[in-house]
Amino acid sequence: MKTAVIVFPASNCDRDAAMALEKVTGRAAEMIWHRETEIPSDIDFVVIPGGFSYGDYLRCGAIASRSPIVKDLVKKAESGLPVAGFCNGFQILAETGLLPGALMRNKNLKFVCRPERLQITNANTRYTSAYAGTEEVVFPVAHHDGNYFADDKTLNKLEKEGRILFKYADNPNGSARDIAGICNEAGNVFGMMPHPERAIDPQHGGTDGINFFKSIIESI
Amino acid sequence: MAKAIEITPEIVAEHGLSTGEYQIILDRLGRAPNMNELGIFSVMWSEHCSYKSSRRHLGKFLTKGKRVIQGPGENAGVIDIDDGDAIIFKMESHNHPSYIEPYQGAATGVGGIMRDVFTMGARPIALMNALRFGEPTHHKTKTLVDGVVAGIGGYGNCVGVPTVGGETNFDKGYNGNILVNAMCVGHARTDKVFYSAAKGVGNPIFYVGSKTGRDGIHGATMASAEFDDDSDEKRPTVQVGDPFTEKLLIEACMELMATDAIIGIQDMGAAGLTSSAVEMADKGGVGIELNLDDVPQREDGMTPYEMMLSESQERMLMVIQPGKEQMAFDVFNKWELDVAQIGMTTDTGHLVLNHKGKVVCDIPIAPLADDAPNYDRPHTPTPKREPFKAETIALTDVSDALLKMIGSPDIASRRWIWEQYDRHVMADTVDSSQSGGDAAIVRIHGTKKAVAITTDVTPRYCYADPYEGGKQCVAETWRNLTCVGADPIAITDCLNFGNPERPEIMGQFVGCIQGMNEACRAFDYPVVSGNVSLYNETNGQAIPPTPAVGGVGLIPNLDYFATLAGAKEGDAIIMIGDTTGWIGSSIYLRDIAHREEGAPPPVDLALEKKNGDYVRRLIRDRRVNAVHDCSDGGLLITVTEMALAGDIGFNLNRPQNSCPISGWYFGEDQARYILAVDPNSVNPIISTAEGQGIKAAQIGTFSGTQLSSNDGLSLDIDTVRSTYEAWLPQFMES
Query: Three-state SS string across chain A, please?
Result: CCEEEEECCCECCHHHHHHHHHHHHCCCCEEEECCCCCCCCCCCEEEECCECCCCCCCCCCCCHHHCHHHHHHHHHHHCCCCEEEECHHHHHHHHHCCCCCEEECCCCCCCEEEEEEEEECCCCCCCCCCCCCCCEEEEEEEECCCEEECCHHHHHHHHHCCCEEEEECCCCCCCHHHEEEEECCCCCEEEECCCHHHCCECCEEECCCHHHHHHHHHCC
| pLDDT tens, residue by residue, B507-520 | 999 999 999 999 99
Q: How far is B525 from chain A (nearest CA, A)?
A: 28
B48 is catalytic: yes
Separation in Å, CA B219 to CA B105, B131, B303, B548, B648: 11, 20, 17, 22, 50
| pLDDT tens, residue by residue, B526-552 | 999 999 999 999 999 999 999 999 999
List the single residue in B with minimal CA-CA distance to A172: B419
Between B394 and B412, residue with greater pLDDT: B412
* SS3 state of residue B21: helix
- What are the residues facing A168 on neighbouring strands? A118
The CA dihedral of A97, A98, A100, A101, to the nearest 10 degrees, is: -60
CB of A112 less than 8 A from some CB of B:
yes
Q: Is the pLDDT of residue B257 over 90?
A: yes
Note whether B425 contacts A142, CB cutoff 8 Å: yes
How many whole angstroms separate alpha carbon B224 and alpha carbon B222? 5
How many whole angstroms separate alpha carbon B77 and alpha carbon B116? 10
Q: Which amino acid is at B296?
A: P
Q: How far is B425 from chain A (nearest CA, A)?
A: 6
Q: Is the pLDDT of residue B234 over 80?
A: no
CB of B156 less than 8 A from some CB of A:
no
Note whether B335 contacts A111, CB cutoff 8 Å: no
Q: Is the pLDDT of residue A18 over 70?
A: yes
For chain B, the C-alpha Rg in angstroms (whole number) is 26
Reference B59, options B551, B530, B548, B467; nearest CA is B530
The set of residues, in sequence order, having a beta carbon less than 8 Å from that of B423 and lying 6+ positions away, is A113, A142, B162, B163, B164, B429, B432, B433, B434
| pLDDT tens, residue by residue, B265-321 | 999 988 899 999 999 999 999 999 999 999 999 999 999 999 999 989 999 999 999
| pLDDT tens, residue by residue, B641-650 | 999 999 999 9
Q: Is the pLDDT of residue B664 over 70?
A: yes
Nearest to B422 among A142, A204, A205 (CB): A142
Q: Is the pLDDT of residue B719 over 50?
A: yes
Reference B498, options B546, B461, B530; nearest CA is B546
Note whether A13 contacts B160, CB cutoff 8 Å: yes
**B436 confidence band (pLDDT: 50, 70, 90):** confident
DSSP state of B375: -
Measured from the Cβ of residue B146, the count of other Cβ atoms closer than 10 Å reads 16
Note whether A51 contacts B423, CB cutoff 8 Å: no
Residue B347 class from Cβ within 10 Å (0-12 exposed, 13-18 middle, 19+ buried)?
Answer: exposed
Calculate mean pLDDT across residues B193-218: 92
CA B270 to chain centre: 17
Q: How far is B419 from chain A (nearest CA, A)?
A: 5
Q: What is the mean pLDDT of chain B?
A: 95
Residue B369 confidence (pLDDT):
82
CATH number for the domain whose boundaries are A3-219: 3.40.50.880
Q: Is the pLDDT of residue B658 over 70?
A: yes
Residue B222 confidence (pLDDT):
59
**With pLDDT > 70 as the criterion, what percentage of chain B qualifies?**
97
Q: B421, B163 in Cβ contact below 8 A?
A: yes
How many whole angstroms separate alpha carbon B107 and alpha carbon B128? 13
Calculate mean pLDDT across residues B249-262: 97
Q: How far is B372 from chain A (nearest CA, A)?
A: 40
List the single residue in A with minimal CA-CA distance to B729: A108
A113 is catalytic: no
Note whether A197 contacts B158, CB cutoff 8 Å: no
Note whether A113 contacts B159, CB cutoff 8 Å: no
Query: Strand (E) positions, B413-458?
Result: 429-431, 440-443, 450-456
Q: Is the pLDDT of residue B370 over 90?
A: no
Q: Which amino acid is at A92?
A: I
How many whole angstroms separate alpha carbon B602 and alpha carbon B27? 49
Reported ipTM: 0.96
Query: Strand (E) positions, B9-84?
Result: 68-70, 77-80
Q: Which amino acid is at B102?
A: P
Picking from B158, B560, B732 by the largest number of A CB atoms within 10 A of its own CB, the best residue to mutate is: B158
Separation in Å, CA A205 to CA A117, B426, B443, B629: 12, 12, 13, 25
Q: How far is A203 from chain B (nearest CA, A)?
A: 5
Residue B1 confidence (pLDDT):
42
Query: Which of the residues A87, A116, A143, A183 is marked catalytic?
Result: A87
Domain range summary for chain A, segments of one domain joined by +: 3-219
Q: Is the pLDDT of residue B237 over 70?
A: no
| pLDDT tens, residue by residue, B5-61 | 789 999 999 898 999 999 999 999 999 999 999 999 999 998 888 999 999 999 999
* SS3 state of residue B331: helix
Residue A205 confidence (pLDDT):
87
Residue B392 confidence (pLDDT):
84
Separation in Å, CA B35 to CA A4, B215, B363, B677: 56, 19, 12, 68
Return the minimum-mean-pLDDT range out of B237-241, B633-637, B653-657, B676-680.
B237-241
**B239 confidence band (pLDDT: 50, 70, 90):** confident
- Type and span of the H or E element at B495: strand B487-496
| pLDDT tens, residue by residue, B49-93 | 899 999 999 999 999 999 999 999 999 999 999 999 999 999 999
- What predicted TM-score, i.e. pTM, was given to this entire model? 0.96
A197 is catalytic: yes
Residue A174 class from Cβ within 10 Å (0-12 exposed, 13-18 middle, 19+ buried)?
Answer: middle
How many whole angstroms separate alpha carbon B105 and alpha carbon B345? 33
Residue B394 confidence (pLDDT):
86
* SS3 state of residue B334: helix
Helix/strand/coil (H/E/C) assignment for every residue in A109-164: CCCEEEEEEEEECCCCCCCCCCCCCCCEEEEEEEECCCEEECCHHHHHHHHHCCCE
Residue B216 confidence (pLDDT):
73
Reference A92, options A203, A11, A177, A164; nearest CA is A11
Residue B142 confidence (pLDDT):
97
Between B215 and A27, residue with greater pLDDT: A27
Nearest to A203 among B251, B430, B434 (CB): B430
Separation in Å, CA B543 to CA A208, B171, B288: 47, 9, 40
Q: A54, A8 in Cβ contact below 8 A?
A: yes
Note whether A144 contacts B157, CB cutoff 8 Å: yes
Return the minimum-mean-pLDDT range out of B43-47, B174-178, B440-444.
B43-47
Scan residues 53-82 of A and list those with Cβ closer than 8 Å to B. 54-57
* SS3 state of residue B648: coil
Calculate mean pLDDT across residues B344-357: 96
Note whether B157 contacts A54, CB cutoff 8 Å: no
Note whether B160 contacts A198, CB cutoff 8 Å: no
List the single residue in B with minimal CA-CA distance to A49: B425
List the single residue in B with minimal CA-CA distance to A142: B422
Nearest to A10 among B154, B247, B422 (CB): B247
Q: B5, B35 in Cβ contact below 8 A?
A: yes
- Type and span of the H or E element at B619: helix B605-620
Residue A211, CB-side half-sphere exposure with 13 Å CA sphere: 19
**B2 confidence band (pLDDT: 50, 70, 90):** very low
